[in-house]
Amino acid sequence: MKTIKGPAIFFAQFMDDNPPFNSLDGLCKWASDLGYKGVQIPTTDPRLIDLEKAAESQTYCDELKGKINSYGLEITELSTHIQGQLVAVHPAHDIMFDAFAPKHLKGNFKGRTQWAIQQMKDAAVASRRLNLNAHATFSGSLLWPAIHPWPQQPKGLIEMGFKELANRWLPILNVFDESGVDVCYEVHPVEDIHDGDTFERFLAATGNHKRVNILYDPSHFVLQQLDYIEYIDHYHEFIKAFHVKDSEFNPTGKKGTFGGYNDWRNRAGRYRSPGDGQVDFKTIFSKLTEYGCDVWAVLEWECVIKSPEQGAREGVPFIQRHIIEATQKAFDDFSGADVDDEQLKNILGI
């Protein structure tokens, strides 16, 4: 068994234009003062990291890591959720996802895809330079419009979709393999990897590439009504990253999983701060510890009611309370005694 590391925090939802949230130094001091031990760094904001420079310069990475370490913090993972999303975008979503593209690539969907692929490769090298062994991202999606089979899916559509998704990711996965870094796909609605079956489809399409792994976030499974505890039993060997995020699912006679096009506050399924929703974190931490999952417990704040500042303050004691110091001895060791074969035979009467 292995003790989960933490508490850590994902900076993505806390960035804004006001201090201390508008700079790496400000965020690190704020997180450290709250009691966090690790930080997950999004790579789309140059105020936090210049990804291209990080891929090119060991000196830059050493200085970046040194700055973060000076606040008593470690980098848990880099995150390329946005870039990973842009590796594969269905045409139905092209215009909306173009909001995440660099200005010079807006409207150039093929160019955007190539940019995203290069960003992913840069993230692999940067992770190696930072001595990280796991990376957080999204898979992107070519098939999400086919999630509910109406009109009926033509034969072979799903297989072709996963084949193409794998073709786009394999060159990226190979760079991560050369860098010794696992790619942890956040299993998430609107991604082609959104549950267990789709993870297995993608894994098979990549030829069981050893760098294909999972970022486990139970909040997304509550919204799908998937058994997030049994999920750990099935896929614990692939879980290399962990988001501590809560959610709740309260269906009514008017709305359920699809949410009726409502905003987040008025959906049946919605995200909450840890401890305010329905996720059984006590069992999750127990399972992950029992299976020896070597992960950081990283707070991801997304809540429709509570402020991010309160969510971050409460996240530290919440995670600390759930981390289990994995035992290195059996509770009944005291009653054991040395035995030999003759004694065993006597006990059994043989």
Mapped onto helix, strand or coil, the DSSP state of residue 206 is coil
| pLDDT single digits (tens) 215-260 | 999 999 999 999 999 999 999 999 999 999 999 999 999 999 999 9
Please give the pLDDT value at position 153: 92
Identify which has the larger pLDDT, 283 or 328. Answer: 283
CA separation for the pair 268, 212 (Å, rounded): 32
Phi, psi of 191 (to 5 degrees): -100, 150
Q: Is the bond preceding residue 151 a cis peptide, omega within 30 degrees?
A: yes
Q: Across the strands, what pairs with 75?
A: 39
Please compute the mean of the pLDDT values over residues 251-275 and round it to a whole number. 97
pTM: 0.95
Please give the pLDDT value at position 338: 77
- Asked whether residue 101 carries a pLDDT value surpassing 90, the answer given is yes
- Asked whether residue 131 carries a pLDDT value surpassing 70, the answer given is yes
Give the residue from 198, 211, 110, 114 showing the smallest Cα distance to 159.
198
Please compute the mean of the pLDDT values over residues 175-198 and round it to a whole number. 98
Please give the pLDDT value at position 335: 62
What domains appear along the chain, each with residue ranges and CATH number?
A: 5-348 (3.20.20.150)
Task: Tell me the CB-side half-sphere exposure of residue 37, using CA atoms within 13 A.
Answer: 10
- Secondary element (H or E) of residue 42: strand 38-42
- Asked whether residue 337 carries a pLDDT value surpassing 80, the answer given is no
Please give the pLDDT value at position 328: 83
Q: State the chain's mean pLDDT as an integer.
A: 96
